[in-house]
Amino acid sequence: MSDLTPKPNFSASVQASGGVGSAPVPTTEHGDHLLHDDHDHEHHDQHWLWKYVFSQDHKQIAKQFLITGMFWAILGGTLSSLFRLQLGWPEGSMQWLTPFLGHWIQAGKLNPEFYLALVTMHGTIMVFFVLTAGLSGTFSNFLIPLQVGARDMASGFMNMLSYWFFFISSVIMFSSLFIETGPAAAGWTIYPPLSALPQAIPGSGMGMTLWLVSMVFFIVSQLLGGVNYVTTVINLRTRGMSMSKLPLTIWAFFLTAILGILSFPVLFSAALLLVFDRSFGTSFFLSDIYIAGQALSNQGGSPVLFQHLFWFLGHPEVYIVIMPAMGMVSEVLSTNARKPIFGYRAMIGSLIGISLLSFVVWAHHMFVTGMNPFLGSVFMFLTLIIAVPSGVKVFNWLATLWRGNIRFTAAMLFSIGFVSLFISGGLTGIILGNATLDIQMHNTYFVVAHFHLVMGSSAFFGLFAGVYHWFPKMFGRMMDEKLGYIHFWLTFAGVYLVFMPMHYVGIAGFPRRYYAWTGFDAFSQFADMNKFISIAAIIAFLGQFIFIFNFFYSIFRGRRATQNPWNSTTLEWTTPIEPGHGNWPGEIPAVYRWPYDYSKPGSDVDFIPQNVPLSQTQSSNLPYEQEMAD
């Protein structure tokens, strides 16, 4: 057996086997998956409507999710800028916004009801539409088939439905912004009785109804997407791609999808019960209410029950948001540190641990509801255990960077930024997870700062890292790195400048969801701090337009990508630069090794793709690998 030839070009070898564009219609290894066979033969000259709009191709659907998510992110950011204006300059005139906000500006002041609507919609949009649908919708769709070696998702049709249900949900939620009584205003957690009684506030009328209807469509979309992701990972892995050879991205998407499948239905139940309370006179969440001089007949229900149901979704939801980001960051860090991910199995184990724990900690959002203190301490105990798998992940990321041959690409910067934000935000989680401390911190800006760092901004950083890293695979071109650096530093500095001071005002007791605080002497001393936060937030938000420009400019004018621009080991880089429907023109590559063979001792190149057989890497094989190769 001969040794490796010096400086081999793996990507070229793959091209040689596949033959870009010249290959015949692919045949699939999974003969019994009708879908793949059917598709590839028929639709080569598709009408643009089926190719770009009602596409069943996972890559196209991923782009649809991404673009829709970006639209929502801009809108969500705009809303936050509006309420930051109010918080930074509570006495200032907002007359100039009248052309945009119409009757929500009265006598130069922002309507207080509308302020509540703004924070509600900001939360709803960011958590569900951007960081759930926009993040895992984009990357689960895009990366799962490419990285496990499949032609497409298990069911392309259901995948398409998943996007269009999301689209309908988006249209409904968007339209609720324009109705006369305004959108939902009971906070993104929509606690009854406020959300259940249309007479309580204008935002609990039509706006709340549309919110609930929109979320029902959203949940259906999540379910359709989720079962697809899970079954694709289970059934459609290519030959050799065992679960312990899966890239960590796929493990993260897989577990995220399971979390979604198990937690969203409970939100569905809560939403349906709430619909009945609102529209059909039931009393599930209502009891003993006296409103507008009138006693309601509803008896026996429990608003705390709603909180239990909501947070049974709500807590796994934050992991639905953060885990895909964790997966992508692991991948980007390893690739750009040119080192195997440290503790691959520990990384999988900690993802599984986080997934399991995420279902048994929900009541830590409810320490002040009057729950039994014993129950509180159980939830506190379980909550603090999450610090263990989270710590494992953080140390593994740091150990991956340690003495790496680091390339500071834009994606890498955002990944390192992610680790930084996750640590900073995670530490305050330990404080908030303590039932006794939480009584002091509850509903202050400390909480706002905590979750914006640990799940909001971190997940956004993961999203950015993913876009910068996989952009060449999506559009066949590179994003501009210089603009990427500017974008990173503006965002990174911006996030810390916004949320660090917020911790400070939060500890001092500054409450969230207050329209104005000028009537409280205790909080007036934070006027400057609030102004500072607002300015930082608005600048950081404006900085995102650099990314938007970079994104759209690069789609058309970016530098052309090579087949494997980051010298990465995973399967998506073995496809043609712009993969067509079916992903690989020839046979799907088989997999022989784990996805992190970076800088392997004995190898002449610092990466060995997963599809290179062990027999071709004699010089770098470990003893047990050599045994398998012989």
Which is nearer to another protein, 16 or 375 (by Cβ)? Answer: 16
Residue 18 or 494: which CB sits closer to another protein?
Answer: 18
Query: Among residues 412 and 614, whose Cβ is nearest to another protein?
Result: 614
Minimum Å gap between C-beta 523 and another protein is: 38
| Residues near 261 by beta carbon (within 8 Å), at least 6 away in sequence | 223, 226, 227, 230
- Rounded to a whole number of angstroms, the minimum distance from the CB of residue 166 to another protein is 17
Q: Do the Cβ atoms of 153 and 144 come closer than 8 Å?
A: yes
Residue 106 or residue 244: which is nearer to another protein going by CB? 244
Secondary structure in 3-state letters for 525-569: CCHHHHHHHHHHHHHHHHHHHHHHHHHHHHHHHCCECCCCCCCCC
> What is the rounded CA–CA span in Å between residue 83 and residue 530?
11
State the burial class of residue 229 (Cβ atoms within 10 Å of its Cβ: 0-12, 13-18, 19+).
buried
Distance CA 436, CA 443 (A): 14
Nearest approach, Cβ of residue 232 and another protein (Å): 7
Cα 304 to the center of its chain, rounded Å? 28
CB 151 within 8 A of CB 28: yes
- In angstroms, what is the minimal distance from the CB of 478 to another protein? 16
In this complex, which beta carbon is closest to another protein, that of residue 268 or of residue 414? 268
What is the smallest separation between the CB atom of 347 and another protein, expressed in angstroms?
Answer: 18
Q: How far is the CB of 242 from another protein (least distance, A)?
A: 4
Residues 477, 558 contacting (CB under 8 angstroms): yes
Length, in residues, of the chain: 630
In angstroms, give the least distance from the CB of 308 to another protein. 8
Q: Which is nearer to another protein, 494 or 589 (CB)?
A: 589
362 within 8 A of 315, measured Cβ to Cβ: yes
Which residue lies nearer to another protein by CB, 12 or 427? Answer: 12
Q: Which is nearer to another protein, 4 or 360 (CB)?
A: 4
Instruction: Give residue for tokens 């957690």.
Output: 189
- Expressed in angstroms, the distance from the first to the final Cα of the chain is 9
Q: Which of 245, 259, 160, 176 is nearest to 211 (CA)?
A: 176
d(CA 184, CA 328): 33
Rounded to a whole number of angstroms, the minimum distance from the CB of residue 17 to another protein is 4
Q: Which is nearer to another protein, 228 or 420 (CB)?
A: 228
Min dist CB 67 to another protein, Å, is 27
Nearest approach in angstroms of CB 285 to another protein is 9
Q: Which is nearer to another protein, 309 or 329 (CB)?
A: 309
The encoded tokens of residue 616 equal: 């071709």
Largest CA distance in the chain: 91
- Chain-centroid distance of CA 245 in Å reads 24
Token couple for 265: 């239905």
